[in-house]
Structure 1
């Protein structure tokens, strides 16, 4: 079956799982139901097939162009979220992730190639790429969690007792999950940065300097937030602002640099 059919099927399954999950949320069901789990699992399987066919190069390399990488990124994000759901109630994030994943598989499949396929990937560079993808996945989940924390905090401050307040876990648990995601993300991002300095010949080359600088800015913001939380007790609004600021810098570092290089300057 061609990748285009898997992509369309994955998108439909993701949207179907989102609809089912929304219905169950409004019915105040606290856990993932079997229909949502089955539909989501099928969507993830089709998504994985799309990634293998669109990101994997014919010669055994990787196609990591601007459009193609989105499917790989969201597959990693979804898999990390599913694994973490074993310990933490992160299922509400799926309402955000699944529709974006549906878009990513369609874009990855039907958009044109913008970068040359990389065929030679030494172990050190694979470590850098792998840790970068996992760090982006973890910190994307942290940003989505921060958005939910902001919404819940706003409702509680205005003494609203209906709607999202009844759906989400207590604010203290939401904040705890946020900082757990941030800590794991910062550890992975640290590995990505260090491995980049070690295994990339010139990490401050003209084509990489903006990506490197913005990634370091994001790392500093996340690290500052973690230090402020554990040393000074920073919570709620401060945590949300710094998390979203760090995430914005990180996304600009990755997707912004690829946008300029591949789509504007046509340099893969």
Structure 2
């Protein structure tokens, strides 16, 4: 049943992506319609059922890199869905929907997972919930940053001569960026997401300390997850300080954002990918 639900969720994301790109070609100025928002809500419900089945189907708590990534993307899509009700971010859906379709398929392609010890621990449940929320918020922030970089690059490219072969591509990209808010609005939104993500990441560290104290009798176990999480937390913290004190923005802020996100991925998803897929260990 879980495989069917993951496949249906991926198919739903693909259908929405096709609709979004078709709408961009036919009516670039038109915002995403209510039917798209309702359709996305339905797909999110399917993915929620698929994740619940994958994580709790046999009465235990299971996690793997594919389920973790899918869950983080699922929460990120919820953030986008709420965001789209408040501000026009149509350009972002053109990137998010195809990516969400790929990520929704990962638990089918890489079904490996492991049973999580101490599932009855309140600290563990709280820690995992907040960690997933932090992952999703920073994922959306990283994608926002990439879109900002692409939009900034487009502004510089507008002054360059265009060949006939590049004209169609530039026209399509132009329509895509026309469906996005101005760069300054995107930048404010990016740092709002990073602030929320940083608070969640701080809570992830604190609840991890509580869980470690409860189960292992010490505040921090300096394994790879802890090290990479702390490095990511430090990177985002320095970025926010640099923003407040030195006014960091633009490409400098983007580099710090992507560096912090890469470290966060390595904290769990990257390490589980190496163990489960490359080394075939649980």
TM-score scaled by length of structure 2: 0.84
Q: 1:119 and 1:11 mapped to 2: Cα distance?
A: 32
Could you say if the C-alpha distance between residues 261 and 85 of structure 1 is closer, same or farther in structure 2, counting changes exceeding 3 Å?
A: same
Structure 2 residue aligned with 1:100: 99
Structure 2 stretches of 5 or more lacking a match?
160-169
- Segments of 4+ in structure 1 off by > 6 A? none
Shift of 1:237: 0.7
| Deviation string, structure 1 residues 226-253 (Cα, Å, up to 9, x no partner) | 1111221111111111111111111111
Could you say if the C-alpha distance between residues 158 and 102 of structure 1 is closer, same or farther in structure 2, counting changes exceeding 3 Å?
A: closer
Shift of 1:30: 5.1
Structure 2 residue aligned with 1:46: 46
Greater relative contact order (CA < 8 Å, ≥ 6 in sequence): 2
Q: 1:127 and 1:51 mapped to 2: Cα distance?
A: 17
Shift of 1:186: 0.3
Greater helix share, structure number = 2
Structure 1 stretches of 5 or more lacking a match?
none
Equivalent of residue 226 in structure 2, options 194, 212, 215: 212
Q: 1:250 and 1:122 mapped to 2: Cα distance?
A: 24
Structure 2 residue aligned with 1:221: 235
Structure 2 residue aligned with 1:187: 199
Equivalent of residue 167 in structure 1, options 148, 173, 179: 179
Could you say if the C-alpha distance between residues 197 and 223 of structure 1 is closer, same or farther in structure 2, counting changes exceeding 3 Å?
A: same
CA radius of gyration, larger in: 2
Total equivalences in the alignment: 264
| Deviation string, structure 1 residues 196-226 (Cα, Å, up to 9, x no partner) | 1222235754xx6111111111111111111
**Native 8 Å contact 1:54 1:109 kept in 2:** no
| Larger deviation, residues 131-140 vs 75-84 | 75-84
| Larger deviation, residues 158-167 vs 61-70 | 158-167
Give me the CA root mean square deviation: 2.3
Shift of 1:45: 1.9
Structure 2 residue aligned with 1:247: 261
SS of the residue aligned with 1:85? helix
Could you say if the C-alpha distance between residues 203 and 31 of structure 1 is closer, same or farther in structure 2, counting changes exceeding 3 Å?
A: farther
Q: 1:105 and 1:203 mapped to 2: Cα distance?
A: 35
Could you say if the C-alpha distance between residues 51 and 155 of structure 1 is closer, same or farther in structure 2, counting changes exceeding 3 Å?
A: same
Structure 2 residue aligned with 1:35: 35
